[in-house]
Amino acid sequence: MSKIKVKQVRSQINCPLSQKRTLEALGLRKIGQVVEHEATSAILGMVSKVQHLVSVEEAK
């Protein structure tokens, strides 16, 4: 499986609670923080839910 890097680029302030919990489940707590995950369907679904708050790139 391929890996992806997810970086939080916008604040979670004034977002719905479900989006805040999704960011927390991805392991993101601060702006600028980067986490690496396997590109599973569950992770990709979580990323698409908060796509306006994060940036995604393929890990090498």
Residue 6: its pLDDT value, please?
98
Whole-number Å distance between alpha carbons of 53 and 60: 23
Structure confidence at residue 22 as a pLDDT band (50, 70, 90): very high
> Long-range pairs for 8-11 at CB < 8 Å and ≥24 separation?
8/32, 8/33, 8/53, 8/54, 9/53, 9/54, 9/55, 10/52, 10/53, 10/54, 11/53
CATH of the domain at 27: 3.30.1390.20
Structure confidence at residue 60 as a pLDDT band (50, 70, 90): confident
**Main-chain phi, psi angles of 7, to 5 degrees:** -120, 130
Domain coverage including residue 44:
3-59
Written as six digits, the tokens of 16 are: 């719905």
